[in-house]
Amino acid sequence: MPIADPAAFILANTRLQPVPHAPEISLWLADEVTPIWRLTEEELGEMGLPPPFWAFAWAGGQSLARWLLDHPDEVAGKRVLDFAAGSGLVGIGAMKAGATSVLCADIDPFCAAAVALNAGANRVSSGFTEADLLDAPPPDVDVICAGDVFYERPMAERVLAWLSTAADRGVRVLVGDPLRTYFPKDGFDLLAEYEVPTTRELEDSAVKRTRVWTLPARP
């Protein structure tokens, strides 16, 4: 079902607020999970949808944005892909850190509007694609960032294979993850660890220990 005005829906059901672990960035975020989830299903005329990832600052994305803001050399002057971008938090962090360009990618029908609104609120610009990038070879970029992408087994397996292909081609792969169930136990190098403020509605604790990793090329 086409969405009449996704930007208006977002503005009506979220509020602009600073990201707890990266307060340099403000996003249009929901305060509670259940109401926005129900409203999203009503807007799309479909039940049983996954949660609206674009409406929250998830722990993995917060940690990755923090890492980029504190280590701008990682992305300064480079082309960055924010994979499974959700709100666009990581892509915004990359632009604020000096990236030449950012492409946000997500298949959620609200994400294009969410990314545009959030980029505008932070006075940066980014591209957007709704294509499922996992169906094709990784794009020609310098850095791929992925926050919170290992929460389901089928998704995790596809993402890992795709990111590994990118790393083997020389792309810098950065991942933010609080050790989700399907995060691979090896193959990644740890870059940083943070205590990220979140909510018990989203996570099992009010503060989530979250890590930033890089995926090196396979030997």
For 68-83, the pLDDT digits (tens) are 999 999 999 999 999 9
What is the residue whose two structure tokens read 């005005």?
A: 5
pLDDT in tens, 5-60: 899 989 999 999 999 999 999 999 998 877 786 877 776 666 666 678 899 999 99
Query: d(Cα 180, Cα 178) in Å, to the nearest integer?
Result: 6
- Rounded to whole angstroms, the Cα distance separating 207 from 194 reads 10
Instruction: Report which secondary-structure segment, H or E, holds 28.
Output: strand 22-29
- Measure the CA–CA gap between 175 and 188, rounded to whole angstroms: 9
CA distances from 138 to 56, 90, 119, 198 (A): 26, 18, 24, 31
The answer to whether the beta carbons of residues 77 and 59 sit under 8 Å apart is no
CA–CA distance, 23 with 4 (Å, rounded to integer): 32
